[in-house]
Amino acid sequence: MKLIFLRQLIASLAGSQIPFRRVAMRHYAGFTLIELILAAAILGVLGALAASQYGDYQDKVKFAQAKSDIKKIETAIAQYYADNKAYPQQLGTVGAGTLLDPWGKPYQYCELASGTSACTTRKDKSLHPLNSDFDLYSMGKDRDSKTPLTAKASRDDIIRARNGQFLGYAVDF
């Protein structure tokens, strides 16, 4: 409406008649319901994808942290062995007694070399012991573990096996 009035005003001031036609003007005040639902659906799908990717990333970070911690503890135990010609009976002896894994549980340790340990030896799928010196592992994301690695509760454990030659998920051993 203002555009038509403006054209007429300019035409009268110029002293001539400018031909113009009336165009039906549509005014859009906002978005339709379908547009809003579609936008919400797209945002929901993108949010779900981002959340799953973030969860996978967090699991990878926690796995890397547990591996790093186990490697540090293993180094401290090796230093203790070099100094004392025996493995410590508990992690507190090497200063790792209060260290928690990324899931908030203490790292599990069992001295095996002396043969006098009261703890249970971890076993692989053939039921052979994982280590001959000591067992050291995190119970993983589910915070549960069983003696054989084939048990469902043990598959997510981060283990040290073959006397330190393997460090990773129990399911990969």
Sequence ranges of the domains in the chain: 47-172
Question: What is the rounded radius of gyration, in angstroms, for the C-alpha atoms of the chain?
Answer: 35
With a cut of 80, say whether residue 60 has pLDDT above it.
yes
pTM confidence score: 0.72
Q: How do residues 28-48 score in pLDDT, each as one tens digit?
A: 677 889 999 999 999 999 999
Please choose, from the candidates 172, 170, 167, the residue with its C-alpha nearest in 3D space to the C-alpha of residue 153.
170
Strand order in the sheet with 158-161: 108-111, 134-138, 158-161, 166-169
Q: Which CATH class is domain 47-172?
A: alpha beta
DSSP H helices in 20-171? 33-84
Residue 20 has pLDDT above 60, yes or no: no
Task: Name the residue among 156, 164, 155 with its Cα closest to residue 140.
Answer: 156
Average pLDDT, the chain: 86
| Per-residue pLDDT reduced to its tens digit, 122-139 | 888 888 899 999 999 999
**Rounded to an integer, what distance in angstroms lies between the CA atom of residue 89 and that of residue 134?**
10
